A and B are shown apart, each in its own frame.
Chain A
Amino acid sequence: VTRRPAAGLAAALLALAVLAAGCGGGDGDAVTIYSGRTSNLVGPILERFAEETGISVDVRYGDSAELALLIEQEGERSPADVFLSQSPGATGYLAGTGRLARLDQGVLDLVDERFRNADGLWVGVSGRQRVLVYNTDLVDEADLPDRVEEVVEPPLAGQVAVAPSNGSFQDFITAMRVTQGEEAAAAFLRGLAEADAPTYANNNAIVEAVGRGEVPMGLANHYYLHRFLEEDPDLPAANHRFDGDDIGALLIASSASVLEGSAQADGAQQLVEYLLSAEAQAYFAEETFEYPLATGVEPPSELPPLETLEVPAFDIDELGGGLERTLELIRDSGLDG
């Protein structure tokens, strides 16, 4: 007799939950988005798109690389229409498998050539910049470096944390290989290893460690600090930008692409176009502290405007390939992941 309430409760819970799960169900006419960017970052703007156009959207969130592998396995019957990627590597991988369709020229033209694929397979939507995050209690502003190479030289050597297993750090190394040559990139990595640079799992861990003073400085993406400060305004940490023409100040784009053979190709192209509209771009600038990449949209007040921001001249398509070579360099450098 004692078991009945438990079993009943479990059954009721289950029924309710299955019902709830069923209600969220797919819609044949919806544009299906596989998003490597989290719901916190893009969910609100995707909802606004659905409201304004009347086109319903189904979003599947996940890790960019894992979603790229999923789309590859799904093959021609993939439900995905649009792929939003956090990392250039995942988009580049899909482009390599021939799964991406060419975007409309009108959509491509919304973005500066620096931030889109040469073959028109993807466009950059929002950008994050590589910066040096430092602990304001431990580091004097006057001692901050102008160029990223300085972090492997005295007196900074060993004081700057990196995240070798993180995609953004790897993108930065790829960019360094392309702009300054294999030897320079290899020497930089060796320098980090020889200086025993503290290493962490990802950007979050670096900002957290710098904030609590475990390490004075670290290489990270600019927007993590903004989010930490929102929850802990007293965190003694600040971002420092390298010189505009230095590869340390690389701007990495999150990207949007449409899948080849999408059953909702029109809606998909419309969605990508909407993400580059003034409204959506302002959302990224104000709500997620990112650089808007559509031409003519102002970045958030605390960031320098993109036109005046000198970003290192660099072919962004290079980030889509060559990751294997970068991983090999990192492995060979002896830098402890």
Chain B
Amino acid sequence: VGAAAAPPLRLLGAVLALGFAAPLLFLLQQAAAVGPEVVAAAVDPGLLAPAARSLAMAGGAATAAAALGTAAAWAVTRTDLPGARGWAVVLALPLALPSYIGAFTLQAALAPGGLTDRVLGVALPRVEGWWAATTILALLTYPYVFLLVGARLRQLPADLEEAARLLGHPPRAVARRVVLPQVLPSVLAGSLLVFLYAVSDFGLPQLLRYDTLTRVIFGSLLDRPTSTALALQLAVLALLVAALHRAALGRVARGRPGTSAVRTGTRWRLGRWRLPAVAGVAALAVSALGAPLGVLAFWALRGVVSGSGRAGSVLQDPAVVTAPLLGSAAAGLLAAGAATAVVLPIAYLSARRRDRVGEVAHGVVVTGFALPGLVIALALSAFLLRGPVALSWLYQTLPVMVAAHVVHFAAQSLQASQVAVLAVPDRVVEAARTLGVGRVGRLLRVELPVMAPSLLAGAGLVLLSTVKELPATLLLSPPGFRTLATDVWAATTDAFWAEASVLALVLVALSAVLTWLLVLRRADALA
């Protein structure tokens, strides 16, 4: 730590940062083109209120998600919770639901005259505003915290905890004084992702009618001064929060947590807490995943029963599902792989070397997640089609769509990659170097195996986000390319609920399979 990074690595970091800065540069160029009206709109007091609301909603959701995600990760990885492996998959899945689907289904279920009203006779007030937006966002995004903290908990060495127990500390004290400090960086990293997701999301605040920055941006898309100014506000908000996060991280992660891959943390016996723990985990799964899926299944069945041609066609013609299914799988896997590879050098520079280039790149990568996918897509199209003609042929091809997803979502694997990079013990690398293993050999044979669980967790997050991504997929995909998300969107736009529901259920099933195969199963095996 602290040693100067090799020049080639710094150069690579700088080039990557420039790529990630494309949306920011685009916004600045737009602002310059539109002129002083942008400045006027950016400082218009009436347009500052949406920023405050974005902050309030995202802050609330991040706090709630941190609590939910950490508790769930603890229960699944560190206790003898019955069915822990099953819960590990189920509790990660709410992330697969596009937030507008989650919000729409929960609203339909809970609203006056909705399912709870009709079936249970419980009439609730209208589902809207800050409370609704914050709660539903937390329910849909706590898996960011759950997955990152879970990966960290699986890796923590047992010796510290056992020492504390042998010294007579009660379990609660061990958890608070030994385990919590070691997972706090992951909690913060997950909360930052929830925060960024919340400020960049449009579908959910739109449906729950909470006037955030994105809602005003999309409500005045064609009013260029306003939409450009507010998108810039969003970018500044993201940079500030990223800086704040770095400062907080510096405070909590004073010493680098050591890791031994030999023996990891013990599982606590729940004893009389067994039933409450199962009930709590089940309640979380039901409200975040079961309820939306239940509503979708209800709509799908209702459509099929009433003989809707569209619902039937999905069941009769498998191609209606397989084409978008393959598209989603391809987009998700490519983006996950590319994002993980691309952020590794940045994570190395920023986390291990505390390098200036790495710090700047880190901030730039983070803003990519806070900006709407639309801005990223527009930026790439402007740069590709207005630059050298040689670049034009790349436009609307698979690589460019994947690049857009990487710019948008790499922040998710960056958080995990930094944890991964820090998990590699210096002495092991030194030992390998002493034994004459080259740089590439050390990376492949020593560092990657240690980093794998965290890297996979990060890749999983990118994957789950990409399979539900909409605007960049719509604008930059190769002609004729479809994903489940684009088809779900098309069906909901036209109020074909049965078709939308079937496709959304397939989307969740695909995410479940990929998450289990690529993230959780391996993470367990490697921990």
| Residue of B whose beta carbon sits closest to that of A208 | B108
Interface residues on A, range: 35 or more
| Residue of B whose beta carbon sits closest to that of A79 | B396
Please indicate the chain A residues that have their CB under 8 angstroms from the CB of B78 in the complex: none
B446 within 8 A of A: no
> A13: which of B302, B306, B329, B378 is its contact (CB, 8 Å)?
B329
By secondary structure, the B interface counts as: helix
A6–B378 contact, CB under 8 A?
no
Minimal beta-carbon separation of A49 from chain B (angstroms): 16
A25 within 8 A of B: yes
A window 30-71: CB within 8 A of B: 30, 32, 38-41, 58-63, 65-70
A73–B222 contact, CB under 8 A?
no
Please indicate the chain A residues that have their CB under 8 angstroms from the CB of B491 in the complex: 40
> B111: which of A73, A93, A209, A232 is its contact (CB, 8 Å)?
A209
B525–A20 contact, CB under 8 A?
no
The segment from A101-109, A146-154, A199-207, A257-265 found at the interface with B is A199-207
Minimal beta-carbon separation of B340 from chain A (angstroms): 13
Please indicate the chain B residues that have their CB under 8 angstroms from the CB of A324 in the complex: 220, 223
Please indicate the chain A residues that have their CB under 8 angstroms from the CB of B495 in the complex: 204, 207, 224, 227-228
Q: Which of B113, B392, B495, B497 has the most CB of A within 10 A?
A: B495
B219–A165 contact, CB under 8 A?
yes
Please indicate the chain B residues that have their CB under 8 angstroms from the CB of A3 in the complex: 522, 525
By secondary structure, the A interface counts as: helix
Please indicate the chain A residues that have their CB under 8 angstroms from the CB of B506 in the complex: none
| Residue of A whose beta carbon sits closest to that of B481 | A21
Question: How far is A121 from B491 in the complex, measured between Cα atoms in Å?
Answer: 30
A75 within 8 A of B: yes
Q: Which of B327, B374, B475 has the most CB of A within 10 A?
A: B475
A39–B209 contact, CB under 8 A?
no
A73–B478 contact, CB under 8 A?
no
B112–A214 contact, CB under 8 A?
yes
B window 264-322: CB within 8 A of A: 299, 302-303, 306, 308, 310-311
> B215: which of A165, A207, A213 is its contact (CB, 8 Å)?
A165
B498–A231 contact, CB under 8 A?
yes
B306–A205 contact, CB under 8 A?
no
Question: How far is A38 from B486 in the complex, measured between Cα atoms in Å?
Answer: 10
| Residue of B whose beta carbon sits closest to that of A76 | B385
B518 within 8 A of A: yes
B382 within 8 A of A: yes
On whether A58 and B480 interact (CB within 8 A), knowing A3-B525, A17-B326, A20-B326, the answer reads yes
B498–A24 contact, CB under 8 A?
no
> A337: which of B209, B302, B310, B385 is its contact (CB, 8 Å)?
B209
Task: Write the A296-329 contact mask toward B (1 if CB under 8 angstroms, else 0).
Answer: 0000000000000000000000000001100100
Please indicate the chain B residues that have their CB under 8 angstroms from the CB of A78 in the complex: 385
On whether A327 and B223 interact (CB within 8 A), knowing A38-B490, A74-B385, A228-B495, the answer reads yes
A187 within 8 A of B: no
Please indicate the chain B residues that have their CB under 8 angstroms from the CB of A228 in the complex: 495
A26–B392 contact, CB under 8 A?
no
Please indicate the chain A residues that have their CB under 8 angstroms from the CB of B117 in the complex: 212
A10 within 8 A of B: yes
A window 1-24: CB within 8 A of B: 2-3, 6, 9-10, 13-14, 16-18, 20-22, 24
On whether A74 and B306 interact (CB within 8 A), knowing A3-B525, A20-B323, the answer reads no
Beyond known contacts A24-B481, A38-B494, A331-B46: 12 more, CB 8 A cutoff: A6-B522, A10-B517, A13-B329, A21-B326, A62-B474, A77-B386, A79-B396, A165-B219, A212-B117, A231-B302, A231-B498, A327-B223
5 A-B interface contacts by CB (under 8 A): A25-B479, A32-B479, A70-B475, A212-B108, A324-B223
Residues of B within 8 A of A (CB): 46, 108, 111-114, 117, 126, 206-207, 209, 211, 215, 219-223, 299, 302-303, 306, 308, 310-311, 323, 326-327, 329-330, 333-334, 374, 377-378, 381-382, 385-386, 392, 395-396, 398, 471, 474-475, 477-482, 486, 490-498, 514, 517-518, 521-522, 525
